[in-house]
Chains A and B, each alone.
Chain A
Amino acid sequence: MKRIPLYRMAHARSGDKGDASNVGLIAYDDEGFRIIRSEVTAARVKTHFGGIVRGNVDRYEVANLRALNFILHDALGGGGSASLWTDAQGKTHGMALLRMEIDVPDDYRLPKIAGGGPADYPGPGAGGRPA
């Protein structure tokens, strides 16, 4: 097994629904989807977000898009104009989930992602970390 951050194998987007945020996590390939489906559980996401998510985490599968959809309850300090938090709409939760590190089989070939992002973000070619 090797440990990698999710951003090497998936992409994400987040938004708000009242005082909950949602994070869509999309794997780049079928093997990656099999891995995130077993590794990125609702409980694990709840632990990852620590103090940010005060409620439960629900998880839905969207296999046709190789995606998981997470609902993070009570995660926005009240949500909308009722929140004092800088990220009152969960806009940054997608990027936060991509920082999660998971174990993948040694023979899992990381998807090729064009480089050019910040050193700690993309896959091959950037940040001195080959695929």
Chain B
Amino acid sequence: MIRIANGQGFWGDSVDAPARLAREGPLDYLTLDYLAEVTMSIMQKLKRRDPTAGYATDFVDLMRRILPDLVEKDIRVVANAGGVNPQACLRAVLDAARNAGVRGLRVGVVLGDDILDRLGPLLAEGVTLANMDDGRPLSVIRDRVLAANVYISSFPIAQALQMGARIVLTGRCTDPGLVVGPMIHELGLAPDDCDRLAAGTVAGHIIECGAQCTGGNFSRWWEVKGWDHLGYPVVEMSEDGTFVVTKHEGTGGLVTVDTVAEQLLYEMGDPKGYITPDVVADFTSIRLDQDGPDRVKVSDVRGRPATDTCKVSIAYLAGYSATGQLTVSGPQAVEKARVAADALWGRLERAGMKYEETRTELLGAGVVHGAIAPPTAQPVEVILRVGVKDSDKNNVERFGREIAPLVTSGPPGITGFAGGRPRASEVIAFWPALIPKELVKTEVRVEEV
């Protein structure tokens, strides 16, 4: 049986959770997921400014903190902390290990997901990278592309582990792949072992968002206890591909068939075909059983052979946006917020400003659920939240200057203008495409301190 945990669901998740996982219970693998689509484009921007940047710096801080625990307890780490600069991340981790006095530690890196520099040659070769959703050719956004990354398979991760790496860094692999990689390595899975690859994929999907399967975001939240020391998930994987989702003893949270079922459906498309570069997993085959307190057994996972393409995520600049907010107190908070909003938009119109998109929200008076949940009483206060989007950055900056004046030139009792004028920030959009697998060139390197 292999114990695989996830201590990070996104860049910005708990800084203590992974350290606690390494210290508070038995573990073989600690996986850490730092990447979201938008994270990749932010990292690409950082790298353009500084060639040594572009990876999850939190990861290096974490390694400094827990390397002694990892060595002592023989825990291996698999993390997509490499972002758009896995080699710089590798160097930073090796430096951190050296400075901590660690010797003989092997760190591996998986390269080849970043195809930003290959876009020209690929298009010339006839790879269209057309938009998966609407078929438009890449030329529509070609001059605005910021990042292009292939979701690569989990087999190179296993290869790095095979080469003795105790820490494996990747760029853009799939989120469940962080779990599938160790499983391939430990159980010696071949690419045609579809059911067990699917089981690993399902296990990875369940734990990839950290505490979302251990009580976080659970509908019956009032049943969850110990929010201040919520346990992060641990998968106990058996050789036959059945596994138990649990958490370390003494931690807060809740692992039940219900908390796990909710996470199985999280960000789900067609449940019969969950496609990764490793396998196509069938979520309609899965069986869940409570296996004692805070233990859920997952079995009967079925998979089909992988497709012959990999998904590519291409980030591009799609204009600028800014949002700002003010707190409007009562009496008559809603009416006053409406007057303030009308004043704002009227003043911008008089200034000659036009926007491709605007947004006005009266938070507290029924926004996120809209007409589904109209407010039952006059709120004692509301937050007026306004935003604009436009391809002209100057127009967006001009909007940012029009919010603060409402405190003195609007209805009474408006406050909460903190943090200065909202600045125009780049809007990043995503272009999903496919690339034939034979054109994806991955490379594994392992170095030792």
- Return the CB mask of B359-373 against A: 1 if under 8 Å, else 0: 101010001111111
Which of chain A's residues have a CB closer than 8 A to the CB of B429? 78, 80-82
Please give the number of chain B residues whose Cβ is less than 8 angstroms from any Cβ of chain A in the complex: 54
Which of chain B's residues have a CB closer than 8 A to the CB of A84? 321, 323, 357-359, 387-389
Q: Is B270 interfacial (CB-CB < 8 Å)?
A: yes
Which residues 71-93 in A have Cβ within 8 Å of B in the complex? 71, 77-78, 80-82, 84-87, 92
Q: Is B227 interfacial (CB-CB < 8 Å)?
A: no
CA distance A82 to B387 in the complex (A): 12
CB pair A92 B368 closer than 8 Å: yes
CB pair B387 A62 closer than 8 Å: no
CB pair B37 A80 closer than 8 Å: yes
Q: Is B217 interfacial (CB-CB < 8 Å)?
A: yes
Please give the number of chain A residues whose Cβ is less than 8 angstroms from any Cβ of chain B in the complex: 48
CB pair B372 A50 closer than 8 Å: yes
CB pair A26 B262 closer than 8 Å: yes
CA distance A15 to B209 in the complex (A): 11
CB pair A81 B266 closer than 8 Å: no
CB pair A62 B258 closer than 8 Å: no
CB pair A49 B389 closer than 8 Å: no
CB pair B369 A92 closer than 8 Å: yes
How distant is A88 from chain B, measured CB to nearest CB, in Å?
Answer: 10
Q: Is B123 interfacial (CB-CB < 8 Å)?
A: no
CB pair B367 A99 closer than 8 Å: no
CB pair A65 B286 closer than 8 Å: yes
B361's partner among A61, A80, A86, A117 (CB-CB below 8 A) is A86
Can you give 8 A-B contacts (C-beta < 8 A)? A15-B267, A64-B284, A64-B286, A69-B269, A80-B428, A84-B323, A84-B389, A87-B368
Given A64-B284, A86-B361, 5 other A-B residues pairs in contact with their CB atoms under 8 A: A11-B218, A11-B258, A49-B370, A51-B370, A64-B285
